[in-house]
Every structure is written in C-alpha cells, then in structure tokens.
Amino acid sequence: MALADEAGLDGLSMRRLATELGVVPMALYKHVANKDELLDGIIDTVVSEIDLTPVEGDWKPVIRGRILAARQALLRHPWASGAIEARRNPTPAVMAYLDSIIGLFRAGGFGVDEVHHAIHALGSRILGFSQELFDDTPTDPDAQEQAAHAMAGTFPWLAEMALQVAHDEKTVVGSGCDDQFEFEFALDLLLDGFERLRKAG
C-alpha cells in the first residue's frame, strides 16, 4: 500500500501512480479518501524510518544523534521534506518524532518553556529561505568560478563566497558545500546555545 514510495518521483501523481500500479486512477480512491491522505500516508512511512528507540547518555549527543538520524531518513527521500512542510497538520509519525525529541530535552533537565523555545529554534528557518536556496547540483568549478566573476559587480560578497567555494572544489575533493558539515555546524551551534542557556537559566 504505502509501498507507493516506488519510482521515487514527486511532482507526479495519482493518475500516474495508478498506471504505475497497472490500475485505473479511480481504484486508488478505494484505499484513500483523497490525494492529501495518500501523501500523509507515504510521509508517515518515511518518517517512521527514523529510529526512535530510547538511548542512554547525555542529552546533547543523544538528541544530536536522533536529529541526524531524521536527516538521514529525509535525505533518503528528497521529496519528503518538501511534502512534510506543505502539510498543514503533522502526521502521527511526525508527532511521534517531535515528541521523542521533546522527551529527550525534558529528560536532559530542560524546563517546558526552554524546550518550547528550543523546538521552535530548531524548526525555524531564520532567513526565511531554506538551505537548499541554491540547488547544489554539482556544476563544474570553472563554470561556477566564471559565473561568480560575472556577478562580482552586482553582488560582490556573494561572488566572493562563490569564488571561495569554487576554489575549494578544485583543491579538496568533494563538493563545494559539504551539506552534512553545514547541517551539523548549525545544529551544534544551537545545541551549544541551549546548553549555555540552561546553565545560565
């Protein structure tokens, strides 16, 4: 049923998925009320991949690990994070995940208010634009460098950063922005911040 995770496509749906299953579109409606419900379903199966089994240890590494696990699950299904955000009310599995995170904070000695703020901080996108603002499709560094030079006049600082990235790409192996690193960087920054607040508070 929710094995509809299949062909891994996102923007395409319902009629398409039906034919993919060798069935007429309307047949799907015998299993789900509408498309949203179907999406809720597959979202839940993805989120359920996150390992929520209790772990012993200090709150910080434990929470860190769980969030990174969630990230891994979402990375396995690139369309998922977008789908989750588009939903107006969270699905049960999402609730369960959130609940587990909150529980870890509470067990770590945080007060309810503190956790509340922490959850918001972890969930908010400060710039209002998401991390994937630039699609990090790996273009070759030289083209990137050229583009950077081209916009040096209008967007000097952006260009500077882009050049640095292009440079790194040519010297070190791997793609310019190490997304994983960036993610952990921001995560640790926040976790450290929470810790300081707790000690201070």
Partner DNA sequence: CTCGATGGGTGTACGGCGTACACCTAGACC
Partner DNA sequence: GGTCTAGGTGTACGCCGTACACCCATCGAG
In this complex, which beta carbon is closest to DNA, that of residue 25 or of residue 156? Answer: 25
Binding-site residue total for DNA (CB under 7 A)?
A: 16
* Minimum distance from residue 58 beta carbon to DNA (Å): 46
Cα(61)–Cα(187) distance, integer angstroms: 11
- Binding of DNA at residue 29 (CB under 7 A)? yes
- Binding of DNA at residue 112 (CB under 7 A)? no
In this complex, which beta carbon is closest to a second copy, that of residue 21 or of residue 69? Answer: 69
In this complex, which beta carbon is closest to a second copy, that of residue 14 or of residue 122? Answer: 122
* Amino acid occupying residue 29: Y
Distances (CA, A) of 32 to 26, 41, 199: 10, 9, 49
CB 5 within 8 A of CB 77: yes
Sign of CA dihedral 135, 79, 102, 48: negative
Question: In terms of C-beta density within 10 A (0-12 exposed, 13-18 middle, 19 or more buried), how is residue 198 classed?
Answer: middle
Q: Which residue among 9, 35, 55, 186 contacts DNA (CB under 7 A)?
A: 35
In this complex, which beta carbon is closest to DNA, that of residue 36 or of residue 99? Answer: 36
* Minimum distance from residue 129 beta carbon to DNA (Å): 23
In this complex, which beta carbon is closest to a second copy, that of residue 11 or of residue 22? Answer: 11
- Binding of DNA at residue 76 (CB under 7 A)? no
CB 82 within 8 A of CB 116: no
* Minimum distance from residue 91 beta carbon to DNA (Å): 17
Q: Dihedral, CA atoms, 130, 131, 132, 134, nearest 10 degrees?
A: 100
- What, of a second copy, DNA, none, does residue 189 touch, CB below 5 to 8 Å by kind? a second copy
* Minimum distance from residue 23 beta carbon to a second copy (Å): 29
Cα(13)–Cα(42) distance, integer angstroms: 12
Distances (CA, A) of 178 to 103, 145, 182: 30, 18, 6
- Binding of DNA at residue 24 (CB under 7 A)? yes
- What, of a second copy, DNA, none, does residue 129 touch, CB below 5 to 8 Å by kind? a second copy
Residues engaged in binding DNA (CB under 7 A) = 12-16, 23-27, 29-31, 34-36
